[in-house]
């Protein structure tokens, strides 16, 4: 089910007192990256005061009184939240504290680009309550950074990681993109060496995908870019996997590695299917039974909030089939895996024999569980579709 802007919220869209997780989409960027199709706004001067005021307006429209349960995680994503500047991050965090208390030890993540990291910014972030920074490094190749339309250089990434550490931020996560076009002649071993040299607590690894309406898609359309082969995609993924696990990281989700105690708690909430609030342009939310998503165009979101409207673009109530498909997909993408039912044992047994899954020993005589191996995660979509098809026949 979808709903057009201006319609009244459907039953089930009202925030639950059990919301413990909040996502804010901060759309501002210095430049659009060549691969990016997110809802962003390139601004030379970021209107951080107006943005904080509008986030407060959306939360007041959606939540009203402060949330009954304290927030366990807060995630400022984008876009580039660090573009708000030190004062903007502080103002936004103050708004979010008014909407709901932060639990002791709450995980508060800020996505940042290296060029925005200064001693003054890190100090302001820490004072505002940020204790986890996700640093958008993406590559350690000057040629590739230029091709990606990134603003920073390699030295900026090294400097930013050191500043985050020196500023007392408890957890540093680093993003890296792999499977870039072969003609760029990327030295993958050197890339991984650069990554490990930053000594991150957490790594998010993303294979390059070519999305419509991006510069990379246009380059591909005129024959200037070819995507990486499946073989190189797999080789780079598996090689980095071995290096990270050998270095003390746990591969706890298909794209994420964390040292002990540094798993991303906010993202883990998504994979567990629990309710979460999402505010800002294009932000998604889930109340336990329905999903909703906001207007993606920044100006449309701004106008709706300024007029006192709910900036929702649409919503859908999950059916039993939707829930089953999500349970399979979310289960298979994490090391927690999922239970195997008796009529699935033959199918899953073949996957285990192929090296795509491994059994998880049951505790207390419960149902057996399985999880994907790294080779299985490379086939995640196909495995989830096959298992969902089996369950849909019940």
Task: Answer yes or no: do 211 and 360 share one domain.
Answer: no
Q: Considering the domain boundaries, does residue 12 fall inside one? A: no
pLDDT at 326: 93
306, 308, 311, 313: CA torsion to nearest 10: -120
Phi, psi of 149 (to 5 degrees): 65, 30
Average pLDDT in the 204-224 region?
A: 93
Taking CA atoms, 289 is separated from 11, 154, 250, 318, 338, in Å, by: 10, 44, 31, 6, 21
Task: Answer yes or no: do 100 and 161 share one domain.
Answer: yes
pLDDT at 18: 77
pLDDT at 393: 79
Per DSSP, the chain holds a count of helices (H) and strands (E) of: 14, 17
Kind and range of the H or E run holding 169: none
Q: Domain limits at 79?
A: 21-272
Task: Answer yes or no: do 143 and 69 share one domain.
Answer: yes
Average pLDDT in the 226-239 region?
A: 94
Task: Answer yes or no: do 55 and 200 share one domain.
Answer: yes
pLDDT at 14 over 50: no
Phi, psi of 108 (to 5 degrees): -125, 110
pLDDT at 65 over 80: no
Average pLDDT in the 169-190 region?
A: 94
Task: Answer yes or no: do 72 and 178 share one domain.
Answer: yes
What is the tally of structural domains in the chain?
Answer: 2
pTM of the model as a whole:
0.92
pLDDT at 12: 40
Instruction: Residue 384: give its domain's CATH number.
Output: 1.10.10
pLDDT in tens, 24-57: 999 999 999 999 998 899 999 999 999 999 999 9
Instruction: Residue 122: give its domain's CATH number.
Output: 3.20.20.70
In contact, 81 and 128? CB cutoff 8 Å = no
Q: How far apart are CA 358 and CA 367, in angstroms?
A: 14
User: Residue 10: pLDDT band by 50, 70, 90 thresholds?
Assistant: very low
pLDDT at 134: 98
Q: Considering the domain boundaries, does residue 189 fall inside one? A: yes
Taking CA atoms, 316 is separated from 272, 289, 325, 328, in Å, by: 19, 9, 15, 19
Q: Which carries the bigger pLDDT value, residue 159 or residue 393?
A: 159
pLDDT at 363: 62
Name the E strands within the chain.
21-26, 28-29, 41-42, 71-78, 102-112, 132-138, 171-178, 202-207, 250-253, 256-258, 277-279, 284-286, 290-294, 312-317, 338-339, 357-360, 369-372
Q: With CA atoms as reference, report the closest residue to 299 among 54, 3, 9, 29.
A: 54
Helix (H, G, I), strand (E, B) or coil at 38: coil
Task: Answer yes or no: do 93 and 159 share one domain.
Answer: yes
Task: Answer yes or no: do 262 and 333 share one domain.
Answer: no
Q: How far apart are CA 316 and CA 276, in angstroms?
A: 15
Task: Answer yes or no: do 198 and 333 share one domain.
Answer: no
The winner for highest mean pLDDT among 254-263, 341-350, 384-393 is 254-263
Sign of dihedral through CA atoms 242, 368, 342, 320?
A: negative
Average pLDDT in the 240-256 region?
A: 96
Task: Answer yes or no: do 62 and 148 share one domain.
Answer: yes
pLDDT at 364: 57
pLDDT at 367: 54
The rounded radius of gyration (Å) of the Cα atoms in the chain is: 21
Taking CA atoms, 333 is separated from 347, 355, 390, in Å, by: 18, 16, 18
Q: Considering the domain boundaries, does residue 288 fall inside one? A: no
Q: Considering the domain boundaries, does residue 81 fall inside one? A: yes
């Amino acid at each position: 089910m979808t709903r057009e802007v201006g319609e009244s919220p459907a039953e089930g869209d009202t925030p639950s007192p059990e919301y413990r997780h909040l996502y804010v989409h901060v759309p501002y960027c210095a430049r659009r990256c060549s691969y990016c199709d997110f809802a962003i706004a390139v601004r030379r001067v970021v209107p951080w005061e107006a943005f904080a005021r509008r986030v407060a307006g959306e939360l007041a429209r959606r939540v009203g009184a402060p949330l009954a349960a304290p927030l366990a995680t807060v995630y400022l994503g984008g876009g580039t939240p660090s573009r708000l500047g030190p004062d903007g991050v502080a103002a936004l965090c103050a708004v979010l504290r008014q909407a709901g208390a932060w639990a002791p030890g709450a995980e508060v993540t800020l996505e940042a680009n290296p060029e925005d990291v200064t001693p003054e910014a890190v100090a302001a972030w820490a004072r505002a309550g940020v204790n986890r920074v996700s640093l958008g490094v993406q590559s350690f190749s000057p040629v590739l950074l230029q091709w990606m339309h990134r603003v920073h250089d390699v030295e900026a990434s090294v400097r930013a990681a050191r500043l985050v550490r020196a500023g007392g931020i408890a957890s540093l996560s680093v993003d890296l993109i792999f499977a870039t076009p072969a003609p760029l002649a990327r030295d993958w071993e050197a890339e991984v060496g650069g990554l490990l040299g930053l000594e991150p607590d957490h790594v998010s690894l993303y294979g390059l995908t070519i999305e419509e309406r991006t510069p990379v898609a246009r380059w591909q359309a005129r024959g200037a870019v070819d995507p990486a082969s499946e073989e190189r995609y797999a080789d780079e993924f598996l090689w980095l996997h071995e290096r990270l696990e050998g270095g003390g990281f746990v591969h706890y989700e298909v794209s994420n590695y964390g040292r002990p105690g540094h798993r991303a708690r906010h993202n883990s909430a998504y994979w567990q299917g629990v309710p979460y609030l999402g505010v800002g342009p294009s932000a998604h939310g889930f109340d336990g039974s329905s999903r909703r998503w906001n207007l993606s165009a920044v100006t449309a979101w701004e106008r709706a909030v300024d007029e006192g409207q709910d900036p929702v673009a649409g919503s859908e109530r999950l059916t039993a089939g939707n829930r089953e498909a999500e349970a399979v997909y979310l289960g298979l993408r994490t090391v927690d895996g999922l239970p195997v039912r008796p009529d699935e044992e033959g199918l899953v047994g073949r996957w285990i024999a192929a090296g795509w899954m491994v059994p998880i020993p049951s505790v207390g005589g419960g149902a057996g569980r399985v999880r994907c191996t790294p080779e299985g995660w490379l086939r995640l979509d196909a495995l989830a579709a096959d298992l969902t098809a089996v369950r849909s026949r019940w």
